[in-house]
Structure 1
């Protein structure tokens, strides 16, 4: 199906270097910030959009043939995108060659990359829709400044480009076959400055080039130090920038000195995971509609007066009327299930309804009461009935719950709707406990709002949720119809399918995939255990904090940082702390919501559990037997809790 195809490209590599037609400018990231003289460290998890942003900033996109009108101001800042090739750069070491020599070769190679890209940028400018005067000037350029380094590096841009390509291939051959390294004539960093300066002078412009190195964390330690040095000493006409995974930059040393790279003075940091969360629902919906409209022309009108590819349009896109229209269309394509809809499911699906009845009956058997399940299950008060299936396991008498239920029916003050907010606080937890008996019949994960929360600011996750949805709906969807709306159960199961896909993908992380998959499994099982709690006294637990952070050692910190780096957890500042006289962590660690459907748990960040460093260590690195014993401790606690709750209630009768 065409829509599925339009949504299937979830990685920037699928589009090539020119992403102008595909890139949607994020609403809360100032693209002009990447043109500052101070270097930028762009950090974010896999799928956060780092590569797409850097490719958009590069000359391949800024001077794209798809860009109808390229202003002369585009010459002020010219981007160079380069992705660190892990396999190739790991060859720049050992094999009988001293590290100092490898540093020299690495510097030479980076200079060749930049020089090649400068020449390529000029070629792209000539092909672009920019003013013809500048294009004619570039065609007539004769470069001489590089001749002092290599006599072949002289002439027109085309001649320079061909010579540089040859030099780059020679360098690559020599790295693979170190016996040829002695024949290399290394280009100094000054060659880059000389090249840019001569171009600026001959064209009478003041271009500032920005080198964007993607996947910095894949470089060897000494290579990171080389790049750090270039960042620290960046100055016009070239600035060095990096993109990394969260917690990916461990090296702060600068090559050849005792200096360190300093956050405040040497670079600025943009964290995509945090920035993309702001207005992510609008941005993600724009992305969805723009992709769908490629195959479903009826949606083309949405962006008639808005250019998603230009930063100048951001204020228009933040207009309330526009945002509301976008979200309304998105929610019509991906309708969600309200609490009333979910309550209807419990009553309409026999498996769920029977489970509800059994839960209420089971709770009542522990009480000395004449009340029956029929007193708590009411077709006209479905949400109340579902919440009762949990309340009856708490330290509250059935009579008291029944009285509150009757008060609610009579619209009198009550605990369901009043200050205790039983419905608001307990409905989803109670629903999940009941629906888990057959998760594929549910619609809990359906809806645009659910998808954006499950994706949690991650573009790749959101697009895959949408792609899977349209793929599963292909037999039911007619693109000739006036409106597209996907069945909620199809969406829900697509979310489960997508969650399982990314869960399995954890195994591919090298070299520790099995560790991260095991880690995700353990967190999922722990939170599932809390979700299965009969009383739901603390529903929707999906994250934890460390109650004794003073005891966190380097090993534990590294494990947690790595879990965040690879997207198993995300880290956020704590918003609520229970005062228990102990130290409490300022950070919460949340299981990434993309894994919630796999474990059939809530994707919302509602409640947390406090764990000790010892418990977290057992969770992360303990044996299977140790982890099973860890879970058993909670199971015993929950069993005791239920027993004590019921006994305590009897004592006060």
Structure 2
């Protein structure tokens, strides 16, 4: 393995974007987000965020094992804790077993209720064993309470904590076997939802030193539960005893059912729980700085073996100013000899034009071409218009997308730490992917770790990250294929509009659905698009904030470099339900109809990275 391969391997390990992949480094690299304090009290919380926003890392950090790793790891410290988090990741393989034609839905719900009792109690007993080991003490529970608990959970009687844990372990194994062979097995005894948990927690609080201590069940990947199963856990959350509470991690729109087992009873924020939207919290509390701290912690570990690594991640990702980027994109050649095209030979116009920077001269040229007026007339207007600078500023950024239309190579640069943070949109996974892909490509090109990553390398890495996440969409859900086609259609739509902005509203990259002919298919696609980070849901101009009709949407900024459109939140357009669904079913025709409304055409050449989809856009196969 070469030195470059070794460093790239180390980078991939340290910049792993899933908590599970960090393994032993998870807590060494743990960075406390500002919103963590909102999760640390006894109020039930629902932590909402897409994959990669850090739900798992935060919940595991709140668990008793996470607390221990983040503390000084001394027995005395453990004895002083007043709160313990019990972490549970919802396992799809397990919970999907509770469904099918073998028994009625109501029976499945009761079976699942018993299973949840078993799992929660097993986790509590596992904690007690951990506590005995780490606090260097022996816990002796009241034998009567233990037997009462076993009877409530319908497992073999026990008198001690260790016997009790063994009995519950066997109870889980036997019950899972029963569920897997439910057609052939006689009915089993089932526990009452929450009753064994209450009894076990009461027994634990009867232990020396545990009277004032509290517990939180930290449930990760809540979206893996179906609606019936979410009702079960919702009921526990709504009616939990004073001794324990719940902290739930779920993808946006993954909490599909908010009723309890009583269909007339709902969980309502803030009366029943505190809602914490991770993306909103991170963006509101300076995501750039938090992401910088996360990445700098990784660089610090890398620097132990590679002292040439910079101490600040920001130093590795220089940006380009507006004029600097315009020059790299060839604006000088676009305006070369522009003054010679003036026909009035006006000294005032020539002098005015000469004082403008190249990009502003290019704006003059584009205005003349799009309006059908002469260059002299546009220069006259610019020279005499007091609002000219404001008009130019409004279009300056969008002009960058037009400079290399139809040419090979990079058509727009996406570089700099601020830009990467905007592309990630509050998502740490995406940010870390961008950093890892950029530095890895930087090393492959033979550059040193001590050198900053070039704008070209950053841009190409950002395109690759967008392409990779587009490819992953298809396998994420039953709607994956349609989401992929939708993203291709929307991405191409906004890419064409970005490349032809002069004479139109610049930087259009959001949309709203207007019209009455909405369908469940459309709303499901919007919801799944948001849930799987193909789309971003925007609530700024809406009041209700609950129905899909009350939102504006945009393609997630991480895909902007791949399709070449603006990643900044700007202007929106209106799409009818037919136009929106047409982007999936008949992409080419639908694009033509939508673009025609703003006097644009579909015949812009594809960027290099999109040529793979040329046949799709031509024939929409």
Whether TM-score is above 0.5 comes out as: yes
Deviation at 1:342, TM superposition (A): 0.3
Matches within 5 A, 1:64-463: 64=69, 67-68=72-73, 71=77, 75-128=81-134, 132=135, 135-138=136-139, 145-148=145-148, 149=151, 152=156, 154-179=158-183, 182=186, 184-188=188-192, 189-205=194-210, 206-256=212-262, 258-278=264-284, 279-297=286-304, 329-347=312-330, 354=333, 381-395=357-371, 397-403=374-380, 415=387, 418=389, 420-422=390-392, 424-438=393-407, 440-441=409-410, 444-463=413-432
Deviations 1:259-293 (A, max 9, x none): 33333432221111211212100011111111122
Instruction: Give the Cα–Cα distance (whole angstroms) in 2 for the partners of residues 613 and 214 of structure 1.
Output: 35
Deviation at 1:463, TM superposition (A): 0.6
TM-score (norm 2): 0.82
Which residue of 2 is the match for residue 320 of structure 1? none
Deviation at 1:147, TM superposition (A): 2.3
SS of residue paired to 1:64:
helix
Contact map agreement 1:208 1:237 (CA 8 A) in 2: yes
Which residue of 1 is the match for residue 596 of structure 2? 633
Over 3 Å counting, the alpha-carbon distance change for 1:400 and 1:228 in structure 2 is same
Contact map agreement 1:120 1:161 (CA 8 A) in 2: yes
Contact map agreement 1:543 1:591 (CA 8 A) in 2: yes
Deviations 1:355-396 (A, max 9, x none): 6669x79xx8xx98789x999986982222333343223446
Which residue of 2 is the match for residue 570 of structure 1? 536
Instruction: Give the Cα–Cα distance (whole angstroms) in 1 for the partners of residues 79 and 554 of structure 2.
Output: 43
Deviations 1:214-255 (A, max 9, x none): 222222332121112112112222223432221222223321
Contact map agreement 2:17 2:429 (CA 8 A) in 1: yes
SS of residue paired to 1:63:
helix
Instruction: Give the Cα–Cα distance (whole angstroms) in 1 for the partners of residues 465 and 259 of structure 2.
Output: 40
Instruction: Give the Cα–Cα distance (whole angstroms) in 1 for the partners of residues 120 and 333 of structure 2.
Output: 68
Which residue of 2 is the match for residue 319 of structure 1? none
Contact map agreement 2:595 2:601 (CA 8 A) in 1: no
Contact map agreement 2:501 2:507 (CA 8 A) in 1: no
Over 3 Å counting, the alpha-carbon distance change for 1:74 and 1:466 in structure 2 is farther
Segment drifting more, 154-163 vs 549-558 = 549-558
Instruction: Give the Cα–Cα distance (whole angstroms) in 2 for the partners of residues 436 and 162 of structure 1.
Output: 69
- 2:575 is aligned, of 587, 600, 611, to 611
Deviation at 1:524, TM superposition (A): 0.9
Question: Any stretches of 5+ residues in structure 1 without a counterpart?
Answer: 303-324, 578-584, 640-653
Over 3 Å counting, the alpha-carbon distance change for 1:543 and 1:78 in structure 2 is same
Instruction: Give the Cα–Cα distance (whole angstroms) in 1 for the partners of residues 485 and 173 of structure 2.
Output: 43
SS of residue paired to 1:545:
strand
Over 3 Å counting, the alpha-carbon distance change for 1:202 and 1:476 in structure 2 is same
Contact map agreement 1:7 1:463 (CA 8 A) in 2: no
Deviations 1:494-522 (A, max 9, x none): 11111111111111122111110111111
Contact map agreement 1:19 1:61 (CA 8 A) in 2: no
CA-based RMSD: 3.8
SS of residue paired to 1:567:
coil
SS of residue paired to 2:536:
strand
Segment drifting more, 393-402 vs 586-595 = 393-402
Deviations 1:602-626 (A, max 9, x none): 111122223345544544x553465
Instruction: Give the Cα–Cα distance (whole angstroms) in 1 for the partners of residues 404 and 542 of structure 2.
Output: 29
Segment drifting more, 376-385 vs 200-209 = 376-385
Deviations 1:148-207 (A, max 9, x none): 326755355444333322222222222212257547443442222222222221122222
Contact map agreement 2:13 2:22 (CA 8 A) in 1: no
TM-score (norm 1): 0.78
Deviations 1:283-340 (A, max 9, x none): 11111111122111499999xxxxxxxxxxxxxxxxxxxxxx99xx332111111113
Which residue of 2 is the match for residue 520 of structure 1? 487
Q: Verify: 1:20 aligned to 2:27, yes or no.
A: yes
Instruction: Give the Cα–Cα distance (whole angstroms) in 1 for the partners of residues 491 and 359 of structure 2.
Output: 27
Which residue of 1 is the match for residue 606 of structure 2? none
Which residue of 2 is the match for residue 648 of structure 1? none
Contact map agreement 1:84 1:219 (CA 8 A) in 2: yes
Contact map agreement 1:461 1:594 (CA 8 A) in 2: yes
Over 3 Å counting, the alpha-carbon distance change for 1:184 and 1:534 in structure 2 is closer
Instruction: Give the Cα–Cα distance (whole angstroms) in 2 for the partners of residues 379 and 209 of structure 1.
Output: 69
Contact map agreement 1:83 1:215 (CA 8 A) in 2: yes
Contact map agreement 1:500 1:598 (CA 8 A) in 2: yes
Question: Any stretches of 5+ residues in structure 2 without a counterpart?
Answer: 1-6, 544-548, 603-621
Which residue of 1 is the match for residue 618 of structure 2? none
Over 3 Å counting, the alpha-carbon distance change for 1:202 and 1:339 in structure 2 is same
Instruction: Give the Cα–Cα distance (whole angstroms) in 2 for the partners of residues 379 and 461 of structure 1.
Output: 42
Contact map agreement 2:118 2:171 (CA 8 A) in 1: yes
Over 3 Å counting, the alpha-carbon distance change for 1:400 and 1:257 in structure 2 is closer
SS of residue paired to 1:35:
coil
Contact map agreement 2:479 2:528 (CA 8 A) in 1: no
Instruction: Give the Cα–Cα distance (whole angstroms) in 2 for the partners of residues 413 and 299 of structure 1.
Output: 57
Matches within 5 A, 1:535-574: 535-546=502-513, 548=514, 555-574=521-540
Deviations 1:9-41 (A, max 9, x none): 1112213599422321112x133435323x222
Contact map agreement 1:3 1:294 (CA 8 A) in 2: no
Contact map agreement 1:42 1:270 (CA 8 A) in 2: yes
Which residue of 2 is the match for residue 62 of structure 1? 67
SS of residue paired to 1:203:
coil
Deviation at 1:588, TM superposition (A): 2.4
Over 3 Å counting, the alpha-carbon distance change for 1:80 and 1:377 in structure 2 is farther
Aligned pair count reads 579
SS of residue paired to 1:202:
coil
